[in-house]
Amino acid sequence: MEFEKQFLATRRRFLRNLGATAGLAAAPLAWSSRVFAEESMVVEGPPMPDLPATWIADNVYVIVSPWGFPSEANQGMMSNITFVITEKGVVILDSGASLQIGQMALRQIRKITDKPVVAVFNTHYHGDHWLGNHAFVRENPDVPIYAHEKTASAIRTNQGDFWKSLMERSTGNAIAGTVVTPPNHEVGHGDEFDFGDLTIRVHFYGTAHTPSDICLELVEKKIVHVGDVAMNNRIAFMDDGSFLGTFKVYDALEAAVPDGYWIPAHGFPSEDLIENNRILFLGIYEGAEKAVKEMASPSEVKKYVLADERVQHYAPVTNGFEENIGKYASLAYLEAEAAAF
């Protein structure tokens, strides 16, 4: 599909530039000025229709997005928004794909609490997780927006304008008026944030879905927002990621938060989210690994993957499986081949 082709077209260019630095110390003021300058010149797209917030636990809510890629029909609403009401205010975990979606999230928050939004976290650099930052900066120009340093750098360089343009085209310009609003604070593994009655702990274990995925633990609740590291009834894009790295992240998360409850950015939260994703990914990767060991050609790897019982089990309940399994099999083959030498 066109969205996926456009997404993949930037992969190599992005990876070449990922290590670039962007002068983060002086950036917040410059980017805030850009936000207010740009929004004064642009006609905004239509409001995002309300989607109700789903109660997950005391003071923890998720606005669950329907399945789908960005389109005119869904106005770019394709990724969950999690928010947590704390003693110090509301914390946002992934802000959505546009100004309009962020504003919709704010309307849902205001149905539950009048506390201010005191922090926003972005799990990685794909635009459906951070373009909504604009809405929260518009409400409070001083709100801190946290992300891994590579995510912040990516958004400040090519991924920011790329994702804005891509979402505009994919939605028939429904996100018009959205201004690229990058994170303004860097976080790393083990960082903790005190919100009075809740501690949020950052987990980062290397490349999984992207080179800079962070997962956010609500420590006192044993709940973890995992972003796109794991999804419910969908396979995450792996074009910037690693199957082996994903297994490492799953093992580390389960060791760090035994019996955790996992909130994905796509699909419904569940206790068995990590385990289900691991089984499917193992089926794909080990099928590809077998193809490498038997010296099968790349064109044959899909056959090996589809023969795996684990893949057969999850295929009927995985959205987008038929359209994407060939690509995932090829990516797993390339990684397994590299690991064999």
DSSP letters, 109-143, are: HHTT--PPEEEEE--SSSGGGTTTHHHHHHH-TT-
Across residues 93-97, what is the average pLDDT? 98
Residue 18 has pLDDT above 90, yes or no: no
Residue 61 has pLDDT above 50, yes or no: yes
On whether both 321 and 190 belong to a single domain, the answer is: no
On whether both 197 and 333 belong to a single domain, the answer is: no
Residue 22 has pLDDT above 50, yes or no: no
pLDDT value of position 79: 97
**End residue of a domain, out of 251, 271, 291:** 271
On whether both 222 and 210 belong to a single domain, the answer is: yes
Distances (CA, A) of 46 to 72, 74, 136: 11, 12, 18
On whether both 242 and 279 belong to a single domain, the answer is: no
pLDDT value of position 31: 52
On whether both 265 and 287 belong to a single domain, the answer is: no
pLDDT value of position 260: 97
Dihedral of the CA atoms 199, 248, 144, 78 (nearest 10)? Answer: -110
According to DSSP, the residues that pair with 216 across neighbouring strands are 202, 225
On whether both 338 and 280 belong to a single domain, the answer is: yes
Name which residue leads in pLDDT, 255 or 11: 255
pLDDT tens digit sequence for 193-224: 999 999 999 999 999 999 999 999 999 999 99
pLDDT tens digit sequence for 330-341: 999 999 999 998
Query: What's the total number of domains in the chain?
Result: 2
Percent of the chain whose pLDDT exceeds 70: 88
CB 82 within 8 A of CB 90: no
Across residues 288-305, what is the average pLDDT? 96
Edge to edge, the sheet with strand 90-93 lists: 54-57, 60-63, 81-85, 90-93, 117-121, 145-148, 185-187
Q: Dihedrals φ, ψ of 140, to 5°?
A: -145, 100
Q: How far apart are the first and last CA of the chain?
A: 34
**End residue of a domain, out of 249, 271, 293:** 271
The angle at the Cα of 123, spanning 319 to 94, to the nearest 5 degrees, equals 80
For 96, counting Cβ atoms within 10 Å of its Cβ (0-12 exposed, 13-18 middle, 19+ buried), the class is: buried
On whether both 234 and 265 belong to a single domain, the answer is: yes
Q: Give the CATH number, domain containing residue 133.
A: 3.60.15.10
For the chain, what is the largest distance between any 2 Cα atoms, rounded to a whole number of angstroms? 61
pLDDT value of position 236: 79
On whether both 181 and 286 belong to a single domain, the answer is: no
On whether both 323 and 290 belong to a single domain, the answer is: yes
Residue 6 has pLDDT above 90, yes or no: no
Residue 250 belongs to what domain range? Answer: 2-271
Closest CA to 210 of 286, 129, 151: 151
**End residue of a domain, out of 223, 254, 271:** 271
pTM of the model: 0.88
pLDDT value of position 341: 83
pLDDT value of position 40: 54
On whether both 86 and 209 belong to a single domain, the answer is: yes
On whether both 32 and 111 belong to a single domain, the answer is: yes
On whether both 107 and 194 belong to a single domain, the answer is: yes
**Alpha-carbon span 58 to 56, nearest angstrom:** 7
Residue 35 has pLDDT above 90, yes or no: no
